[in-house]
Amino acid sequence: MSRIAGLFARKRPVFIGFTVAGDPGIRESFGVMVTMIDAGVDLLEIAVPYSDPVADGPVIERAHVRALRAGTTPDDVFSLVRQVREYAPDLPVVLFTYHNIVYRRGVDRFFAEAAAAGADGVLIVDLPAEESGEVAPSALRHGVDRIVLIAPTTSPERQRAILQGASGFVYLISLEGVTGERDRLSPGIAGLVGAVREKTDLPLAVGFGVSRPEHARAVAAAGADGVIVGSALVRIIEEHPGDEAGICEALHAAIRAMRDALAPDPGPDMLRRERVEG
């Protein structure tokens, strides 16, 4: 059983935290990831910095800029994944990327390197289902789950086409538009979860706009298996320039609040039992 499958087999809401590799610097970025892990993220989603992150709102876009200015390359990203894998051997890790990065590196090479570094899944956010023919076999060959996106505007027919190549879990976009914090969530989340649930046995995780503990609780109540939080966490890095201790303290508090909103802290003994049973 893969680490992602084992995580969702625990049958409790999963908290997925997002960060951009190399933000605010390559060395500091690993500290951010360690803090997120220690605070209780169940799965770490790591973005490969990109110059034109069209799916991302301004907060995450600025994080990409900071990471690129720090000189972060795909090689650095894989190095960070290896460090995370050494620090947290059981933690699922998913790479969030744009297709140009994968294409420029070579599709099979990218997936081979991702697998060798210890990544469990890859989400190529701007790759249409019709153009995924080269990606799917490489993901399968190297044992990497191919995470797919489904939006509120995705038709039932297109949902089925997208799901044909999916593994690991399905990323459901909670709203129209780019990533970013919102005051309130879309009232249609439960309907989207229910519609996609009819078409797949894969776990469903909801992201985009989830930024508060009450949002996380509402997403879980809507029937989602996981909650994805990005901009609300990335903003903390932006708000504490040059203050590593402040970043870590604020990140830890924000993640604990989100995590506790989903379910009571299971504690280390329960987590150990879950890993053994999974």
The catalytic residue positions are: 45, 56
Are 135 and 107 in contact by the 8 Å Cβ rule? The answer is yes
**How many Å apart are CA 209 and CA 176, to the nearest integer?**
10
Among 145, 149, 87, which Cα is nearest to 119's?
145
Q: For residue 104, how many other CB atoms are within 10 A of its CB?
A: 9
Q: Parallel, antiparallel, or unpaired: how do β-strands 43-47 and 93-97 relate?
A: parallel
Sign of the Cα pseudo-torsion (18, 254, 180, 9, in order) = positive
Among 208, 185, 196, 190, which Cα is nearest to 56's?
208
- Cα 253 to the center of its chain, rounded Å: 19
